[in-house]
Each structure stands twice: as structure tokens, then as C-alpha cells.
Structure 1
Amino acid sequence: MKKETIQVDGMTCGHCKASVEGALNNVKGVSKAEVNLDAKNVAVEFNDGEVTIAKLKEEIEEQGYDVQ
């Protein structure tokens, strides 16, 4: 398992948190995604043999947020 923290702009509330976590947790290869609203990031544990960091960022952007 690989762990990455992705900076995300635009998340401000519980709905934002649920939206990003839900999208990432539904990606094959992701074992855990946890948003920290105060730090404006999401910590993701994933199998990098199944999913790329680029794919994870794409999923976040599809939810309407900006990845840094």
C-alpha cells in the first residue's frame, strides 16, 4: 500500500468531505480516503499497482474541486 496526501481547494463542509471521500473510496485499489477540511487535503491509501495518483486527482476534479 502507498500513502499520498493530495492538496485540494474548494472543500468547505461535510458535504464536500463526503463527496470526495465517496468518490475515492469507490475507485478500485483505494483502501482508505480521509479528508481533512482544516488542512484542505485528502490522505489516500491505495495499491499503486491498481490505480495511479493521476487517476485519484482526476476523480477529485470530477467532483468539482481543484487539486494542487
Structure 2
Amino acid sequence: MAGTTITVSGMTCEHCVSSVKEEVGEIPGVTSVEVDLQSGRVDITSDEPIPADRLAAAVDEAGYTISG
């Protein structure tokens, strides 16, 4: 198991959280996605490390960006 934490900017409501969870959760190998709306923190658990470009593409597809 691998754990990854990213910070997503632009989320303002629970719909935003759902969109990010859905898109990131569709990445093959992802087993869990937890999103904290206030901080923008997204904790991802997966079978193996997820490439940064794949995470960025999923977050972009949801309509948001990774900060930092």
C-alpha cells in the first residue's frame, strides 16, 4: 500500500469534494480518497504509488488544480 497527500485549490463546497473524490478514485489502484474541504488536503491510499501527472490530470478533470 502507498499513501499520497496533495493539496487541491479551488474547492468551496461538498460538491467540489465529491468531484475530486470521484475523479481521483477512478485512477486504477486507488483504494481510498479522503478530502478535507477547509484545508484542501486530499489523502490517497493506493496499491502502488500514483504518478504525479496522473493525479494532476484527475484533479484537472474535476475542475481544480493541485497547489504546491
TM-score, length-normalised on structure 2? 0.86
| Deviations 1:29-64 (CA, angstroms, capped at 9, x unpaired) | 000011100111211001226x42321221001111
Aligned runs of 1:52-67 on 2, under 5 Å?
52-67=51-66
Write the letter of the residue equivalent to 1:6: I
Displaced runs of 4+ in structure 1, greater than 4 A?
none
Aligned runs of 1:1-68 on 2, under 5 Å?
1-48=1-48, 51-68=50-67
Q: Which runs of 5+ in 2 are unaligned?
A: none
Give the distance between the partners of 1:41 and 1:61, measured in 2 at CA: 15
Q: Which runs of 5+ in 1 are unaligned?
A: none
What CA RMSD, in Å, does the superposition of the two structures yield over aligned residues? 1.4
Percentage of pairs with the same residue: 33
